[in-house]
Amino acid sequence: MAEIINLRSAKKQAARKAARIQADANAARFGQTKAERALSAARAEKAKQDLDGHKRETD
């Protein structure tokens, strides 16, 4: 026979699992500090400038 479970506990466990998945998604999206975002933006800008500096002129 099937194991008897408490429906209330199963619902709570499913809700916790869904909340954890949502929390992980939010942490990945919004988890950077202001300093980390600034550093990332500065690195991207530097890479863009370096790439533009190596372009050939087509005059």
Range of the domain at 25: 7-53
Q: Which residues contact 15 (CB under 8 A, 6 or more apart)?
A: none
Q: What is the DSSP letter of 59?
A: -
pTM reported for the whole predicted model: 0.49
* Six token digits for residue 16: 């916790």
Is 1 within a domain?
no
pLDDT, tens digit, for every residue of 6-56?
999 999 999 999 999 999 999 888 888 889 889 989 999 999 999 998 888
What's the number of domains the chain is made of? Answer: 1
Q: Which residues contact 22 (CB under 8 A, 6 or more apart)?
A: none
Is 35 within a domain?
yes
* Six token digits for residue 37: 């975002």
Is 23 within a domain?
yes
Give me the pLDDT at residue 51, please.
92
- C-alpha of 49 from chain center: 26
Is 2 within a domain?
no
Is 14 within a domain?
yes
Give me the pLDDT at residue 18, please.
98
Give me the pLDDT at residue 56, please.
84
pLDDT for residue 59 is more than 80: no
